[in-house]
């Protein structure tokens, strides 16, 4: 079955880059997502990447995908205090109409002033 894993905590100094990592199970056809959740709020979709891509960049966010190692990372450049949140990696496995969206445990990002 699908399994998505993340480290639970990450602390980064303001202005530095944050790199949040995720590993996922083997799937031939998969979308991989990064979501941000602030305290008491729902999940905000940050970005996503299809499994046939290696990299996607969107302003301060860079997603890198290593298909061989089944490893996904999210890099946040110039980390700000507003980036403090829990970041979830999620995997969507495509099938014959039975797609299931599976989440990792979430990584709590703390910004050090």
Partner 1 sequence: EADIYQTPRYLVIGTGKKITLECSQTMGHDKMYWYQQDPGMELHLIHYSYGVNSTEKGDLSSESTVSRIRTEHFPLTLESARPSHTSQYLCASLRSGVSTEAFFGQGTRLTVV
**Residue 79 CB: number of other CB atoms within 10 A?**
21
Give bridge partners of residue 53 from the DSSP assignment: none
Of residues 11 through 70, those in contact with partner 1 by CB under 8 A are 31, 33, 35, 40-45, 48
Closest CA to 85 of 53, 110, 63: 110
C-beta of 22: minimal distance to partner 1 in Å? 13
Query: Can you tell me which of 22, 49, 85, 86 binds partner 1, judged by CB under 8 A?
Result: 86
Q: How far is CA 69 from CA 2, 8, 25, in A?
A: 15, 20, 10
Token pair 């880059």 is at which residue? 17
- How many residues bind partner 1 (CB under 8 A)? The answer is 26
Q: Does 10 bind partner 1 (CB under 8 A)?
A: no
CB of 78 to partner 1, least distance (A): 25
Question: Residues in the site for partner 1, rule: CB under 8 A?
Answer: 31, 33, 35, 40-45, 48, 86, 88, 90, 92, 94, 97-106, 108
């Amino acid at each position: 079955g699908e399994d998505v894993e993340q480290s639970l905590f990450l602390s980064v100094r303001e202005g530095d880059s944050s790199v949040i990592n995720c590993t996922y199970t083997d799937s031939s056809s998969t979308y991989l997502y990064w979501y941000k959740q602030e305290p008491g709020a729902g999940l905000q979709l940050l970005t996503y990447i299809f499994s046939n891509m290696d990299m996607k960049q969107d302003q301060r966010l860079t997603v890198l995908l290593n298909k061989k190692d089944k490893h996904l990372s999210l890099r946040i450049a110039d980390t700000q205090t507003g980036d403090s949140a829990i970041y979830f990696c999620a995997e969507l496995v495509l099938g014959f109409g039975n797609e299931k969206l599976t989440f990792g445990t979430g990584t709590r990002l703390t910004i050090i002033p």
